[in-house]
């Protein structure tokens, strides 16, 4: 007699399989939890033994923080520990707000230098200038202190008073200032204006709180008061910021309800679809977005979503390649963990994150990506786009490499120091858009470079030294010394000739730096636009309707081709 039917046998087998799977999952969970508890106990025991038996007296806080940082380094580069001491700086990166005097500083030798002052804030109002060397703050000598230590002394509650003493070019005695600290709110849009007839330009430097509102205001002003009929949105060098602000900026150009970005993580709460919440300000206006390898995160959301929706052309170079979303989690005692909780995906379905962290340039941006790690996607109009890391531009502009002498003049602060001298000797200059660095000015700069005893190592000299070492190892140097000495003479560079051969790019750097001394950050940006190859490339497309539409829509390109035939 048969005890079980075929169907009951199937059900019984299915039940057994479910039990096996459940037990397996439970075992996996228990195994994982056990490993976690075991290793936490080992870590705790290790810390206790070190603290008790180590021959010296280690700093417990430093030990723990070193352990935390080493642990996080095994993950992605954006999951980081934020200590209580660093919390104010972290808040500034997301809000742009802090209590202080409104200046940028950096370390130079034993002291700290003011490199920029923000218009309308205490440092500017009191008369502090770029190039001032801070000697003391509230009577405390700055000598030997780091820029972060000096920044801490300058910051404080709005309404509080701070005394600053500086050494100024052209003044033999220190100059003292009394400032009342204020709430500092650094603008996300440092400059906007026209870069050609009917072509508006907006520089967006960060995606901190309020960036969407600032771009909206600039966009409305350009359309209504400047007569802009096309827009260039500059996201070059923009490191990103708040995801919600990226949605807000994108929404200015796309209809309400349009999906801009989605996030997906391990936990359900980090699954989100972000749609444009408002009516756009400029839904139809021709648009070009400028990007480069410094455009990251939120900047890539904006550029990528507008590309996927065929809403505007992307001009410049490949972007950074950061498609990860971070969330801050409290750790107690005002410490925070900024942890990667999700990846973001733009409308075509692609993720911008570079798959392989090892394929990175020196600045961290995405480098070479193997074809095996790249997949094709399509924009709304059917154009092919790719994932694998960063946004590829529709119109690529290969950046010009600055000459070695120009790089060294910048790195050794020669441009900065000369601009300080120039500003002290010239009370005023023409407006930033009209200011030109004359031939007479350039010759004065060349004299300044010689007076500073400026030196730099050219690549051929380094190669020559390597050649000498190799020749000595091969026993070829002794019998060919005259030839080597002759080669050294040929390789000797003439500083004056090098300055002249790189005159154009040197003048560009100096013009922008000097204009910034008189007209703040906006002036420095405005004066540099006349030499900007990315802007020229964007204008060439925006002002040619057929070319613009042909890039965004393959069908339009076919019609233009048929018409031309």
Task: Tell me how far apart the alpha carbons of residues 403 and 332 are, in angstroms, rounded to a whole number.
Answer: 50
Q: Give, to the nearest 10 degrees, the angle between helix 414-425 and helix 439-451.
A: 120
Structure tokens at 456: 């730099």
Structure tokens at 247: 């949605």
Location of structure tokens 């008061």: 225
Which residues partner with 238 through β-bridges? none
> Are residues 81 and 103 in contact, defined by beta-carbon separation less than 8 angstroms?
no
| Tally of CB atoms within 10 A around 194 | 15
Classify each residue of 246-279 as buried b or exposed e, where b means 16 or more C-beta atoms within 10 Å of its C-beta: bbbbbbbbbeeebbbbbbbbeeeeeeeebbbeee
Consecutive H or E run containing 195: strand 191-196
Task: Tell me how far apart the alpha carbons of residues 212 and 301 are, in angstroms, rounded to a whole number.
Answer: 13
| Residue 322: active-site member | yes
Structure tokens at 361: 């340039």
Question: Measuring CA to CA, which residue among 146, 138, 140, 79 is closest to residue 111?
Answer: 146
Q: Which residues touch 345 (CB under 8 Å, ≥6 apart)? A: 261, 262, 263, 264, 323, 351
Task: Tell me how far apart the alpha carbons of residues 362 and 365 are, in angstroms, rounded to a whole number.
Answer: 7
Name the active-site residue from 297, 348, 419, 512.
297
Task: Tell me how far apart the alpha carbons of residues 344 and 296 are, in angstroms, rounded to a whole number.
Answer: 13
> Are residues 209 and 96 in contact, defined by beta-carbon separation less than 8 angstroms?
yes
Which 8-state DSSP code applies to residue 351? B
Name the active-site residue from 116, 132, 308, 534.
308
How many residues does this entry show for the chain?
A: 565
SS3 383: coil
Structure tokens at 349: 């379905």
Q: How many H helices and E strands in the chain?
A: 18, 21
Q: Which residues touch 59 (CB under 8 Å, ≥6 apart)? A: none
Name the active-site residue from 250, 322, 365, 527.
322
> Are residues 123 and 179 in contact, defined by beta-carbon separation less than 8 angstroms?
yes
| Residue 297: active-site member | yes
Structure tokens at 464: 């020559």
Q: Which residues touch 516 (CB under 8 Å, ≥6 apart)? A: 116, 130, 419, 523, 524, 527
What distance lies between CA 19 and its chain's CA centroid? 52
> Are residues 301 and 262 in contact, defined by beta-carbon separation less than 8 angstroms?
no
Consecutive H or E run containing 300: helix 298-308
| Residue 308: active-site member | yes
Q: What percent helix, strand, coil does the chain show, rounded to 5?
A: 45, 20, 35
Question: Which active-site residues does the annotation give?
Answer: 297, 308, 322
């Amino acid at each position: 007699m048969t005890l079980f039917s075929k169907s009951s046998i199937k059900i019984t087998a299915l039940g057994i399989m479910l039990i096996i799977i459940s037990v397996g999952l439970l075992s996996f969970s228990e195994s994982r939890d056990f490993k976690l508890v075991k290793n936490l106990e080992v870590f705790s025991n290790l810390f206790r033994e070190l603290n008790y038996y180590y021959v010296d007296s280690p700093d417990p806080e430093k030990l723990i923080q070193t352990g935390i940082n080493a642990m996080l380094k095994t993950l992605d580069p954006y999951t980081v520990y934020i200590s209580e001491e660093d919390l104010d700086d972290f808040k500034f990166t997301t809000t742009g707000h802090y209590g202080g005097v409104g200046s940028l500083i950096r370390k130079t030798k034993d002291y700290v230098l003011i490199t920029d002052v923000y218009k309308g804030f205490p440092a500017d109002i009191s008369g502090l200038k770029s190039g001032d060397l801070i000697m003391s703050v509230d009577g405390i000598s700055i000598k030997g202190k780091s820029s972060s230590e000096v920044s801490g002394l300058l910051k404080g509650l709005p309404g509080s008073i701070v005394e600053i003493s500086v050494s100024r070019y052209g003044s033999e005695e220190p100059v003292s200032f009394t400032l009342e600290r204020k709430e500092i709110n650094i603008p996300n849009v440092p400059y906007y204006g026209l870069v050609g007839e009917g072509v508006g330009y907006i520089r967006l430097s960060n995606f901190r709180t309020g960036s969407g509102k600032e771009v909206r205001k600039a966009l409305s002003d350009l359309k209504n008061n400047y007569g802009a009929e096309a827009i260039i949105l500059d996201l070059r060098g923009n490191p990103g910021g708040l995801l919600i602000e990226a949605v807000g900026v994108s929404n200015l150009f796309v209809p309400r309800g349009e999906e801009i970005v989605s996030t997906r993580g391990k936990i359900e709460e980090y699954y989100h679809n972000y749609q444009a919440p408002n009516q756009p300000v400029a839904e139809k206006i021709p648009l070009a977005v400028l990007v480069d390898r410094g455009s990251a995160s939120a900047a890539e959301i904006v550029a990528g979503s507008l590309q996927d929706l065929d809403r505007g052309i992307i001009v410049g170079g490949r972007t950074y390649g950061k498609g990860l979303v971070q969330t801050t989690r409290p750790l107690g005692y005002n410490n925070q963990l900024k942890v990667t909780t999700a990846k973001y995906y733009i409308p075509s379905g692609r993720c911008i994150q570079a798959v392989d962290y090892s394929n990175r340039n020196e600045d961290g941006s995405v480098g070479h990506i193997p074809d095996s790690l790249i997949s094709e996607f399509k924009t709304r109009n059917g154009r092919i786009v790719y994932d694998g890391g960063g946004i590829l531009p529709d119109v690529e502009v290969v950046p010009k490499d600055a000459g070695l002498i120009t790089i060294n003049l910048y790195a050794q602060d020669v441009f900065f120091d000369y601009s300080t001298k120039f500003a002290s000797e010239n009370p005023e200059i023409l407006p930033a858009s009209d200011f030109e660095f004359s031939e007479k000015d350039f010759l004065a700069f060349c004299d300044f470079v010689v007076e500073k005893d400026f030196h730099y190592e050219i690549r051929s000299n380094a190669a020559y030294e390597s050649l000498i070492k190799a020749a000595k190892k091969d026993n070829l140097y002794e019998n060919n010394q005259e030839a080597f000495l002759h080669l050294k003479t040929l390789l000797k560079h003439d500083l004056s000739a090098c300055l002249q051969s790189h005159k154009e790019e040197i003048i560009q750097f100096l013009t922008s730096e000097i204009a910034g001394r008189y007209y703040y950050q906006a002036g420095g940006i405005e004066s540099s636009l006349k030499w900007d190859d990315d802007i020229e490339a964007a204008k060439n497309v925006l002002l040619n309707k057929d070319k613009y539409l042909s890039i965004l829509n393959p069908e339009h390109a076919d019609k233009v081709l048929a018409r031309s035939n």
